[in-house]
Amino acid sequence: MLLPGVLQGARAEGKPDSASVSLHTLSYQDSQPGLKRVSVLSPQFNVVVPLSGDDWWLNGTLVYDAVSGATPRYHTAISSASRMSDSRTAGDVSVTRYFRRVSVAAGLAASTEHDYRSLAGSLDIRWASDNQNTEVSLGLGASDDSINPVNQVVVDEARSTQQISLGVTQVTSRTDVVQLTLSHSDGKGYYSDPYKTLDRRPRERRQNVLMLRWNHHFEEGGSTLRNSWRAYLDSFGVQSHTLQFEWVVPFGDKWKLSPLARIYAQTAADFYAEAQYDPVLGEPFPVGYSNANPPRFISLDQRLSAFGALALGLGMAYRLDAAWTIDGKAELYEQRGQWAWVGSGSKGLAPFRAYQVQLGVTRKF
């Protein structure tokens, strides 16, 4: 809700101002030198509608992902890439009850693939001060996953996760909003990748996230700068930092452009094996690997390596009239081991690149 004398760039979260229906389609492609890897085509449908008067609202989303491509079984060795094709159907629905200064939302989410199923629930409680300058949020969540890979490395494996988050949003001036969120999750079960060679991971994972956001609205020109910093630490030994900057710039009454830059870096997991192979056993066995006494945990998954990444994007929105809006977004992403912020990063890995394009339309009622 807007504060007296505060522009729209500085606001705490409130109830929707109208019902809406939107349809978006995302096209994604990633690659490494000499190899196009994973392609995804993902249509998404979203609806936001009041259920009873202006106090009860429903938000629902349905997504279908068509996935195909090649996934290396270890590190980035192209010769080991295996072809795959899959699809995923996912949906979530939440119901929110708005009171004068409090909102309570309960949600359910489900996702299904041919080898993976997930069911999750959430509860979100928000409290706002009398002047709407401060909002405190508490979130609780739990998920239960079932894993049945087609290669039958494991059968009927499971993973469960519980999460809690606490956040504070503060309007600090006519043009500034700051938000701080802390979250912690505890997971138990199967975390290994059944399709990757030499992949054995702990059966417990604790994750901690600190998120700081700052939005600044420029009264002259009407643009808004959205800044965020995310710090992450988990029990696998992975530490990461993400900096993101997005500038929302209006052009006239109908156009908005949103250039974006995101910088990311992480350390390697404690059990990640670098791309240096034993001279006797050869690939993919790391130096000193022993078949007689293999390590308890090991992974050659590039996603658990030490690397840095840069993403550049541009968003666009065009308001046709009071009811209809079309929007789009394009983003380029690249990661390299030598871009790590700490140390020299993981070596011997091919650069990883990705691009995505999203187009959509929204109808308000």
Q: Above pLDDT 70, what percent of the chain?
A: 95
Q: Assign 35 a pLDDT band (cuts: 50, 70, 90).
A: confident
The topology under which CATH files domain 20-364 is Porin (2.40.160)
* pLDDT on residue 70: 83
| 72, pLDDT greater than 70 | yes
Q: What is the mean pLDDT of the chain?
A: 93
- Per residue in 324-338, pLDDT (tens digit) is 999 999 999 999 999
Q: Which residue has the higher pLDDT, 76 or 259?
A: 259
* pLDDT on residue 13: 57
Domain boundaries, the chain: 20-364
| Average pLDDT estimate for 172-179 | 96
| 9, pLDDT greater than 70 | no
| 364, pLDDT greater than 60 | yes
* pLDDT on residue 81: 53
Predicted TM-score of the model (pTM): 0.91
| Average pLDDT estimate for 69-84 | 76
| 84, pLDDT greater than 80 | no
- For every residue of the chain, which 3-state class applies, written as one string? CCCCCCCCCCCCCCCCCCCEEEEEEEEEEEEECCEEEEEEEEEEEEEEEEEECCCEEEEEEEEEEEEEEEECCCCCCHHHCEEEEEEEEEEEEEEEEECCCEEEEEEEEEEECCCEEEEEEEEEEEEECCCCCEEEEEEEEEEEEEECCCCCCCCCEEEEEEEEEEEEEEEEECCEEEEEEEEEEEEEECCCCCCCCCCECCCEEEEEEEEEEEEEECCCCCCEEEEEEEEEEECCCCEEEEEEEEEEEEECCCEEEEEEEEEEEECCCCCECCCCEECCCEEEEECCCCCCCCCCCEECCHHHCCEEEEEEEEEEEEECCCCEEEEEEEEEEEEEHHHCCCCCCCCCCCCEEEEEEEEEEEEEC
* pLDDT on residue 3: 28
| 12, pLDDT greater than 60 | no
Pick from 80-94, 153-167, 347-361: least confident: 80-94
- Per residue in 286-315, pLDDT (tens digit) is 999 999 999 999 999 999 999 999 999 999
| Average pLDDT estimate for 28-32 | 95
| Average pLDDT estimate for 147-158 | 94
Q: Assign 85 a pLDDT band (cuts: 50, 70, 90).
A: confident
Q: Above pLDDT 90, what percent of the chain?
A: 85
* pLDDT on residue 10: 34
- Per residue in 246-259, pLDDT (tens digit) is 999 999 999 999 99
| 240, pLDDT greater than 90 | yes
- Per residue in 217-233, pLDDT (tens digit) is 999 989 999 999 999 99
| Average pLDDT estimate for 142-169 | 96
* pLDDT on residue 38: 93
Q: Assign 5 a pLDDT band (cuts: 50, 70, 90).
A: very low
